[in-house]
Amino acid sequence: MSPNLSNILIIGGGFSGMTAAIQLSKLNYNIDLVEIDPNWRTDGAGISIGGATLRAFDTIGILDEFLEKGNAHNGLDVHAPHGLHLAHVPTPPMSDKIPGSAAIMRPELAKILAKKTRESNVNIRLGCTFENIVHKEDTVDVTFTDGTTKTYDLVIGADGVNSKVRKAVFPEAAEPKYVGQGVWRAVLPRLPEINNTHMWVGPRLKVGVNPMSKDDMYLFLTEDKEVKQREEKSEYVTRLKDLMMNFSAPAVQQLAGMLNNDSLIDFRALDNLLVPLPWFKNRVVMIGDTVHATTPHLASGACIGIEDAIVLAEELAQHDDVTVALEAYQNRRWERCKMVVENSGRLAQIEIEGGDKEEHTNIMRESMIALAKPI
Ligand SMILES: Cc1cc2nc3c(=O)[nH]c(=O)nc-3n(C[C@H](O)[C@H](O)[C@H](O)COP(=O)(O)OP(=O)(O)OC[C@H]3O[C@@H](n4cnc5c(N)ncnc54)[C@H](O)[C@@H]3O)c2cc1C
């Protein structure tokens, strides 16, 4: 049933692009993947992973390796700034085999996916991107930065929130928008009592911790800032510790005391983006952050990008007409991706405005229930 595609190009080797390569190679297509970073490096601290993402890892075939390197757990505990326990949000296992939530070092996850991509039949070119895309009737001519050109039956744009593919193919699409909040992250030695995610929610700041291996956990803190700005690296430790002084909970005070120059502290201003349908033009289709970049409030950005790639491969396997498959892909993905971007944005807004904590907890709970549904 699958369409007769000789060559597929994937632009961008992040979580979404790598998953597309792995899943499409299972359909025996010839796949080229270009990644602009010559070292194919993923920076960053920890990444939280929900049950739906773990289910996607099972589909891709990396769940066992993930569970070896990361940390699976169940439930999220919400506390007041002085420590009072407010709520337990369950994250029930997806099945006997698939836990409800987890976390891992981001570079570790990238390594697992890159290994699986290399084991698939994919021609990977690092330090390379496209220069020019020319739509033909049923094909796309692509010129690359290394001077080569090639004709493809399908091009997949997976080059992230600041996508060059999106700018080339949908120049009218809106740019990512700053949401008025930034996130601090750090890596700390894991405390024995941290066995799942804990969050302390203040009037405007929120701090949390998540175990991501036997030895490590990562800390996050969201801070509202009216204007998008960078933070001075040399002041990271002091700034983050000062912010944590807003929480009198002994556990948060203990975490603040553990921070030092080796804690891999990072600050990122948060943007989001939801490109309206269509997500394809002729034979160029977009997946992942390229079309829906979310703030991390539901820890599901990677999830929906990875699911995009799985669904795209499923639809290509089911239809012999490419346009029908691309339409089916985008229609299956729209509501779910919109829910993640919009609910995450609403959570950010509640935090920025010091809004209703009950609404915050309810949105988290309802979103997790929605994410557990089949894709
Ligand atoms: C602060 C923060 C915390 C987050 N925390 C979580 C979390 O806990 N859980 C979660 O699920 N999600 C989280 N996310 C979201 C998640 O990181 C993204 O949704 C996910 O990385 C998207 O993957 P992607 O492959 O679509 O895009 P990207 O990860 O951006 O990958 C794009 C790839 O394309 C490459 N590239 C860029 N331009 C070009 C080009 N022109 N040509 C070729 N290659 C190119 C890049 O080098 C990169 O490898 C977080 C996001 C932020 C900002």
Does residue 32 lie within any of the structural domains? yes
Q: Is residue 262 part of a domain?
A: no
Q: Which atom of ligand 1 is nearest to the CA of 130?
A: 42
Going from the Cα of 26 to the center of ligand 1, the distance in angstroms, rounded, reads 23
> Does residue 248 fall inside a structural domain?
no
This prediction's pTM: 0.96
pLDDT tens digits along 355-368: 888 898 899 889 98
Residue found under tokens 């691309």: 326
Residues 6+ apart with CB under 8 A from 205: 221, 222, 223, 224, 243, 246, 247, 351
CATH number of the domain bearing residue 356: 3.50.50.60
Structural domains counted in the chain: 1
- What integer pLDDT is reported at residue 42 of this predicted model? 77
Residue 39 has pLDDT above 80, yes or no: yes
**Higher model confidence: residue 245 or residue 1?**
245
pLDDT digits (tens, 9 = 90+) for 310-345: 999 999 999 999 999 999 999 999 999 999 999 999
Task: Return the SS3 of 256.
Answer: helix
**Tokens at residue 243, please?**
């912010």
Of 36, 129, 164, the one to substitute when testing ligand 1's pocket (max ligand atoms within 8 A of C-beta) is: 36
The pLDDT value given to residue 105? 94
Mean pLDDT of 276-301: 97
Please report whether residue 14 resides in a domain: yes
Q: Ligand 1: list residues with CB < 6 Å.
A: 11-17, 34-37, 47-48, 129, 158-161, 164, 183, 268, 288-289, 296, 299-303, 305
- More confident of the two residues 45 and 65: 65
- Cβ 14 vs Cβ 158: under 8 Å: yes
Please say if the pLDDT value at position 287 is more than 70: yes
The residue whose two tokens read 């593919």 is 165
| Residue 1 pLDDT exceeds 70 | no
Kindly give the number of the ligand 1 atom that is closest to the alpha carbon of 53. 11
Pocket test for ligand 1, best of 16, 53, 291, 347 (most atoms within 8 A of CB): 16
Taking the centre of ligand 1 as the mean of its atom positions, its distance from the CA of residue 47, in whole angstroms, is 11
Residue with the bigger pLDDT between 203 and 312: it is 312
**Domain housing 92:** 7-175+272-372
Write the CB contacts of 188 (distance below 8 Å, at least 6 apart in sequence).
Answer: 209, 216, 217, 218, 219, 255, 258, 259, 263
Let me know if residue 207 belongs to a domain.
Answer: no
Residue 238 CA: distances (Å) to CA of 45, 189, 207, 231, 301: 19, 19, 16, 11, 29
pLDDT score at 231: 87
Handedness of CA 61, 291, 147, 110 (dihedral sign): negative
Pairing of strands 266-274, 206-211: unpaired
Instruction: Render pLDDT for 216-248 as a digit per residue (tens, 0 to 9).
Output: 999 999 999 998 988 899 999 999 999 999 999
Asked if residue 361 belongs to a domain, the reply is yes
CB 252 within 8 A of CB 200: yes
Nearest CA to ligand 1 atom 30: 160
Q: What is the pLDDT of residues 4-14, one digit of tens each?
A: 788 999 999 99
pLDDT tens readout for residues 17-26: 999 999 999 9
At position 218, the amino acid (one-letter code) is: Y
- Predicted confidence (pLDDT) per residue in 126-176, tens digit: 999 999 999 998 999 999 999 999 999 999 999 999 999 999 999 999 999
**Ligand 1 centre and the CA of 15: distance in Å?**
7
Mutation probe of ligand 1 site: the residue of 159, 219, 344 with most atoms within 8 A of C-beta: 159
pLDDT tens readout for residues 68-122: 999 999 888 999 999 999 988 888 899 999 999 999 999 999 999 999 999 998 9
Which percentage of the chain shows pLDDT scores above 70?
Answer: 99
Q: What is the pLDDT of residue 367?
A: 93
Is 216 inside a domain boundary? no
| 333 falls within a domain | yes
pLDDT computed for residue 5 by the predictor: 83
